[in-house]
């Protein structure tokens, strides 16, 4: 991850310089006259020639301006009165994308409030992410050289404090992105569980359940999904006890972790099936969230559960028409084996509310293609039986830019999943597919305050965004960390 250090606001002697510019003028990040003098006016001329006005997200790149600087990037913040931490993050990401060939970059942040400057660094760090561990022939000129970002701040102590609270968030997002990016032959359910066990170094209590333990509990839905693969399933329970022994119910987060989803017997088309390695992005987000909370010593008791399976066709695979008995005792007729994520979550959700009696449960899952059709790749859809939890999710979404939109839960949709031979079936047909999937899950929360985030459209980016390079997004880590931080910490 990009090394961020805090230093006093002095013009660097070498490397690249990022210059935040408010609409109508430089944000007094450094002595503008000094920069203008040592570069012979090159930066000012470039800004003028580009008709750069400092509009939000706009950039100007100046190559070899002089004074030892290889690059200067001016990035617009928009109107000074409108600058928020989120705008700063997006500006940081836009700017750092221009200097990936530089090893050392300085951010002239003295004109920004320390918290805003720290969010600028967060955006830069998030955009700097690369997943290159399997590349062996990449040319040197195509590799990112970014190693250090120096935050030039007048109030170094305040900037260090602000960045100290954000660095764990970046680390949690990077962990989630790493997990989602891994190829499925590497990240099997067992390997993903092993990586969860590494969180014990942060003070997280980690329990791993194998097939025998889950069979003894009666996890018929989860095990039914897994029975077609030689890679055995796991369920992992992660507990962070940060409330200091204060009485109260824990917060609970549950993630779908299908490490590869072929669709099973109801097999998917070959085109694009390789993307189904990221059908565990919900679990990846939960793992990244728990790591973030533990690293920053969040003052809350939190539990994270992830159900980890591989869904493959074979002679032992689950068949359309099978009936499985869930951990709750309810039975499910399997109409389509490609609607497997809700079966995994059914057992995990019931176990979560039975064992921990949490204050609320939020589950994350790349659950339905119907959600992608509904909201595309910009916003995650969510469903909830609790208005306070919904309000808190929306507030966190506005702050972090990880957008959400609430969709309805209505009894009329519940009729679509009625089965002729079991308590329910696992699909309700094409109409309202994301809604009927949520109605299915609601049957396993037993009335607990609950929200279901369908992240199918936002877990993977097909193109670069200001703080998200193409690939795994780590969606959910920032959203849920912010919700915990703002609403539930003691």
Helix axes 114-127, 156-181, angle to 10 degrees: 20
Q: What are phi and psi of 221, to 5 degrees?
A: -75, -50
Q: Rounded to an integer, what distance in angstroms lies between the CA atom of residue 361 and that of residue 316? A: 33
> Given 56, 268, 325, 394, which residue is catalytic?
268
- Distance CA(168)–CA(426), nearest Å, equals 38
Backbone angles phi, psi at 41, to 5 degrees: 80, 10
Q: Looking at 127, 342, 478, 485, which residue is catalytic?
A: 342
- CA–CA gap between residue 20 and residue 27 (Å, rounded): 6
Q: Rounded distance, CA 437 to CA 149, Å?
A: 44
Residues 350-365 as b/e (b if ≥16 CB within 10 A, e otherwise) read bbbbeebebbbbbbbb
| Spatial CB neighbours of 200, under 8 Å, sequence gap ≥ 6 | 206
Give residue for tokens 């660095």: 167
d(CA 487, CA 328): 31
- How far CA 428 is from CA of 232, 265, 406, 413, in Å, comes to 29, 18, 20, 8
Q: Please state, in angstroms and rounded to a whole number, the distance separating the CA atoms of residues 449 and 322.
A: 31
Please name the helix (run of DSSP H) or strand (run of DSSP E) that holds residue 481, with its range, or none.
helix 477-483
C-beta separation of 415 from 316 below 8 A? no
463, exposed or middle or buried, with CB in 10 Å at 0-12, 13-18, 19+?
Answer: exposed
Which candidate, 235, 179, 206, 210, places its Cα nearest to that of 474? 179
- 342 in catalytic set: yes
φ, ψ at 187 (rounded to 5°): -95, 75
Q: Does the annotation mark 268 as catalytic?
A: yes
CA 450 to chain CA mean position, Å: 19
Q: Rounded to the nearest 5 degrees, what angle is found at the Cα of 177, between the Cα atoms of 196 and 152?
A: 110
Bridge-partner residues for 241, per DSSP?
301
CA 210 and chain centroid, separation: 26
Rounded CA separation 343/180 (Å):
21
Name the residues annotated as catalytic: 268, 342
């Amino acid at each position: 991850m990009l090394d961020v250090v805090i230093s006093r606001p002095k013009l660097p002697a070498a490397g690249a310089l990022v210059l935040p510019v408010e609409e109508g003028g430089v944000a007094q990040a450094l002595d503008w006259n000094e920069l203008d003098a040592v570069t012979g006016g090159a930066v000012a001329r470039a800004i003028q020639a580009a008709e750069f006005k400092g509009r939000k997200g706009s950039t100007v790149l100046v190559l070899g301006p002089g004074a030892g600087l290889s690059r200067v990037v001016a990035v617009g913040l928009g109107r000074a009165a409108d600058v928020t931490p989120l705008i700063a993050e997006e500006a940081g990401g836009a700017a750092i994308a221009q200097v990936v060939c530089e090893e050392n970059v300085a951010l002239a942040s003295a004109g920004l409030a320390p918290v805003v400057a720290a969010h600028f660094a967060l955006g830069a760090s998030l955009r700097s992410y690369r997943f290159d561990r399997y590349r062996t022939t990449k040319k040197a000129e195509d590799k990112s050289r970014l190693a250090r970002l120096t935050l030039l701040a007048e109030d170094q102590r305040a900037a260090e404090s602000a960045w100290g609270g954000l660095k764990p968030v970046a680390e949690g997002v990077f962990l989630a992105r790493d997990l989602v990016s891994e190829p499925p032959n590497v990240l099997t359910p067992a390997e993903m569980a092993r990586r969860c066990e590494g969180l014990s170094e942060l003070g997280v209590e980690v329990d791993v359940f194998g097939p025998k333990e889950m069979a003894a509990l009666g996890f018929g839905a989860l095990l039914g999904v897994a029975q077609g693969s030689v890679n055995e399933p796991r369920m992992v329970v992660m507990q962070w006890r940060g409330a200091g022994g204060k009485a109260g119910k824990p917060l609970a987060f549950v993630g779908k972790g299908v490490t590869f989803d072929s669709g099973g017997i109801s097999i998917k088309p070959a085109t694009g099936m390789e993307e189904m390695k990221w059908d565990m992005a919900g679990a990846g987000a939960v793992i990244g969230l728990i790591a973030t909370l533990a690293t920053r010593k969040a003052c809350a008791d939190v539990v994270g559960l992830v159900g980890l399976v591989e869904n493959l066709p074979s002679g032992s695979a689950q068949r359309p028409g099978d009936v499985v008995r869930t951990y709750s005792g309810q039975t499910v007729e399997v109409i389509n084996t490609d609607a497997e994520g809700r079966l995994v979550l059914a057992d995990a959700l019931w176990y979560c509310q039975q064992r921990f009696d949490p204050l609320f449960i939020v589950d994350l899952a790349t659950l339905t293609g119907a959600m992608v059709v509904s909201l595309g790749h910009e916003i995650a859809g969510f469903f909830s039986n609790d208005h306070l939890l919904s309000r808190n999710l929306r507030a966190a979404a506005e702050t972090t830019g990880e957008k959400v939109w609430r969709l309805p839960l209505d009894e009329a949709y519940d009729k679509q999943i009625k089965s002729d031979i079991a308590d329910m079936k696992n699909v309700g047909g094409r109409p309202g597919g994301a809604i009927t999937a949520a109605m299915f899950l609601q049957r396993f929360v037993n009335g607990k305050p609950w929200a279901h985030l369908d992240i199918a459209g936002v877990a993977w980016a097909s193109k670069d965004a200001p703080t998200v390079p193409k690939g795994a997004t780590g969606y959910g880590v920032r959203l849920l960390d912010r919700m915990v931080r703002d609403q539930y910490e003691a």
